[in-house]
C-alpha cells in the first residue's frame, strides 16, 4: 500500500467518523426530547391518578348518601380540574398547566 492510498483511506475514514458523530449528536437530541416528554407524561399521569382516587372516594360517598347529581356539578368538576393543575380550555384541554394561570381557562371559568 503506497503512502498516497493510505492517506486517502485515512481521509475517507475521517469523513465517515464525522458523519457518524453527527448522527450520534442528533440521536442524543432525540433522546433528550423523549426524556423530557416522558417526564411530562409521568407527571400528568400522577395527577390523573390522584384525581381518579379522589373521584372514586367521592363516588363512594355519593353512593352512601344516595345524593342525586345537582345542576352545576359539571362546572364544579371542571373548576376542580383547573385548580388541580390541568387545562380545561379548548386549546390545551387535559394537559398539565406548567406556566401558572391560563387566560383561556380563566375566561372559560368566568362564563
**Chain positions contacting Zn ion, by CB under 5 A:** 87, 89, 92, 102, 104-105
Please report how close the Cβ of residue 80 comes to Zn ion at its closest, in angstroms.
15
Please report how close the Cβ of residue 67 comes to Zn ion at its closest, in angstroms.
30
**Closer to Zn ion at the Cβ: 18 or 74?**
74
With vertex at residue 33, the alpha carbon angle to CA 92 and CA 51, rounded to the nearest 5 degrees, is 40
Please report how close the Cβ of residue 93 comes to Zn ion at its closest, in angstroms.
8
Largest CA distance in the chain: 93
**Closer to Zn ion at the Cβ: 13 or 43?**
43
**Closer to Zn ion at the Cβ: 96 or 105?**
105
**Closer to Zn ion at the Cβ: 96 or 102?**
102
Burial of 51 (0-12, 13-18, 19+ CB in 10 A): middle
Please report how close the Cβ of residue 86 comes to Zn ion at its closest, in angstroms.
8
Amino acid at each position: 500500500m503506497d503512502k498516497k492510498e493510505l492517506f486517502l483511506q485515512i481521509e475517507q475514514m475521517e469523513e465517515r467518523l464525522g458523519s457518524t458523530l453527527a448522527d450520534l449528536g442528533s440521536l442524543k437530541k432525540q433522546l433528550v426530547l423523549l426524556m423530557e416528554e416522558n417526564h411530562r407524561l409521568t407527571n400528568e399521569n400522577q395527577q390523573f391518578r390522584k384525581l381518579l382516587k379522589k373521584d372514586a372516594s367521592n363516588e363512594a360517598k355519593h353512593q352512601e348518601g344516595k345524593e342525586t347529581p345537582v345542576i352545576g356539578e359539571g362546572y364544579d368538576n371542571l373548576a376542580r380540574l383547573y385548580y388541580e393543575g390541568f387545562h380545561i380550555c379548548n386549546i390545551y384541554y387535559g394537559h398539565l398547566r406548567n406556566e401558572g394561570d391560563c387566560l383561556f381557562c380563566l375566561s372559560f371559568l368566568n362564563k
